[in-house]
Copies of this chain bind each other. A is one copy, B any other.
Amino acid sequence: MPVTIKDIAKVAGVSHTTVSRALNGNPAISFETTERIQQLARQMGYVPSAVAQSLLSRRTQTIGMVITTIADPFIVHVVEGAEQVAQEAGYSIFLNTSHNNPDQEMAVVETFQRRRVDAIIVTSSRVGSLYSSQLDQIKVPIVLINNQEEGEFLYSVAVDNFQGAQLATEHLLTLGHRRIGYVGAADRPKSNGQRLEGYATALSQAGLTLDPALVISPPAGTDLERGRASLETLRAEHATAAFCYNDLTAIGLLLECHQQGISVPQELSIIGFDDIEPALYTTPTLTTIHQPRFKLGQLAMTMTLKLLDGQAVQDQRLPCKLIVRESTSQRMTNGESQIANLKSKI
């Protein structure tokens, strides 16, 4: 059993109140006894019980964080950003995964209630509608990161999907591409819609009309699989470039190109979204849209702590950045691309 202030009190021959005050540096206690008790506490290996403190203060200094899966190279950095801010402020994080399972997500929220977390942060939730029913009962602030549901939530931090998609599409347009495919993700309706809009807007600003045949929504599967599946349509529609919903989709497409002997970027330019590490490991390296993942987490946690401090906060929308690497290049005619292709292989 851990040492308590009563144990110290007994040894020091004072009341536990005095010990409490001495340890908290209460000026009412004489310098002598304060000194003596603090030393005693150290000797006895005293560590205050956050449990008891929480019961009294009605604050656990604890944040519940729910993510879809920790095995996501994107989310992981969001968590790290949040963790850093929390740790510095003396808060601890309960991390729980929902695996996009509504039941599990509800269970997680209930666990958080039992544990009396001071606030909840949710990333990329696709079951936001469920919250609204629970929301009334949950009294703690809920901050959403890259929320995937339509509807107004109290607090949210998100990336500017529209602007990011515009950047990506403009990049391809600048390179001379005219038949640009969009490989979407139907299971993330909100961000997918926003990115599609950015894509469409960039096209129309360039005086092009959107060809619905170039908007591809492969059936369910992993991001990687959907990327692979999209190649057939892209080829059939004579696309010379593709903007993918995210990097994993882009990598899937890239791998399929390798398999079918289609050279990237000579025959097809590919751009992703997210800027996860593996984008640097592919051949060619992946041009992509960088999301400030770490900052997203930091901001969400900062916002949360402000809320707990009674401060007013505003929703945040962070801009993306274009990262040009090797998977995109000037559009070529058929002949040009074949020659370039051969040259690149020598």
Residues of A in contact with B (beta carbons under 8 Å apart): 1-2, 45, 47-52, 54-55, 58, 60, 69-71, 73, 76-77, 79-80, 83, 87, 92-97, 110-111, 113-116, 137, 139, 251, 255, 258, 277-278, 281-283, 345-346
Contact = CB atoms under 8 A, between A and B. Distances in A.
Contacts of A55: 49, 51-52, 55
Contacts of A73: 73, 277
Given A51-B115, A114-B47, A1 B58 contact: yes
Contact of A92 (B111, B113, B277): B111
The 3 A-B residue pairs with the shortest CB-CB distance, nearest first, are A345-B345, A283-B283, A278-B278
A87 B116 CA distance: 17
A115 to B, nearest CB: 5
Nearest to A112: B92
B93 A94 contact: yes
A274 to B, nearest CB: 14
B76 A80 contact: no
B95 A83 contact: yes
Secondary structure at chain A's binding surface: helix, strand, loop or mixed? mixed
Contacts of A47: 110, 113-114
Contacts of A346: 345
Nearest to A79: B70
A116 B96 CA distance: 19
A291 to B, nearest CB: 14
A258 to B, nearest CB: 6
Nearest to A115: B50
A80 B113 CA distance: 22
26 contacts: A1-B139, A2-B116, A45-B137, A47-B110, A47-B113, A49-B55, A49-B114, A49-B116, A50-B114, A50-B115, A51-B51, A51-B54, A51-B115, A51-B116, A52-B55, A55-B55, A69-B80, A70-B76, A71-B76, A73-B277, A80-B97, A83-B95, A83-B97, A92-B94, A92-B96, A345-B346
Nearest to A77: B71
Contacts of A58: 1
Contacts of A94: 92-94
Nearest to A45: B137
Contacts of A87: 96-97
A50 B2 contact: no
Contacts of A49: 55, 114, 116
Given A114-B48, A139-B2, A83 B70 contact: yes
Contact of A95 (B1, B93, B137, B139): B93
A248 B69 CA distance: 22
Nearest to A48: B114
